[in-house]
């Protein structure tokens, strides 16, 4: 019997692992050009969306949201609650994404998991910084970027 090289063994084991496949590339690298640009529900915020990989695909990936106000200034210190959601199937995933502000007004969302092909949305509630006074100017906002996953 012919013995396996360490590389052959790694390839064989990774093929049998059942883990979702993702595109090649370093995690957390985002292209300069946004995949999507959209306004928040209130119209007060503009959100540029980048993904890694871009475009997103089935499996686990990251997203980056750059949030600016009506003057184009980045809005920092926000709290984002992100839920990957498949509208046609009426469900999300069991994987909970994590969000970190990586620079002023730039929010990286890791562990975004799309479990099957089809239309997916990132249901994103945007809350003002903690300590802000309550009232109309400090209320939460909402944005829902959508992706067609092959």
* Model confidence pLDDT, tens digit, residues 47-66: 999 999 999 999 999 999 99
Domain range summary for the chain, segments of one domain joined by +: 20-129+140-149
Task: Report the range of poorest mean pLDDT among 54-68, 73-87, 131-145.
Answer: 131-145
Q: 126 with 139: CB under 8 angstroms?
A: no
Residue 15 and residue 149: Cα distance in Å, rounded?
A: 22
Q: Is the pLDDT of residue 31 over 50?
A: yes
- The residue behind tokens 């590389």 is 7
What is the CATH class of 20-129+140-149? mainly beta
Residue among 60, 122, 55 at smallest CA distance from 87: 122
Give mean pLDDT, residues 90-111. Answer: 96
Q: 65-104: buried (b, 16+ CB within 10 Å) or exposed (e) per residue?
A: bbbeeeeeeebeebebebebbbeeeeebbeeebebebeee
Give mean pLDDT, residues 34-43. Answer: 97
Q: Is the pLDDT of residue 90 over 60?
A: yes
């Amino acid at each position: 019997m012919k013995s396996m090289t360490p590389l052959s063994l790694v390839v064989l084991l990774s093929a049998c692992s059942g883990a979702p496949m993702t595109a090649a590339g370093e995690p957390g690298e985002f292209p300069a050009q946004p995949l999507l640009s959209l306004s928040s529900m209130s119209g007060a915020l503009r959100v540029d969306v980048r993904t890694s990989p871009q475009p997103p695909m089935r499996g686990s990936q990251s997203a980056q949201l750059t949030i600016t106000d009506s003057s184009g200034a980045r809005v920092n210190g926000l709290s984002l609650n992100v839920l990957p959601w498949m509208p046609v199937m009426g469900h999300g995933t069991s994987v909970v994404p994590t969000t970190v502000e990586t620079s002023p007004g730039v929010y990286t969302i890791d562990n975004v998991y799309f479990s099957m092909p089809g239309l997916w949305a990132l249901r994103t509630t945007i809350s003002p910084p903690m300590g802000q006074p309550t009232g109309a100017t400090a209320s939460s906002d909402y944005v829902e970027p959508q992706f067609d996953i092959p």
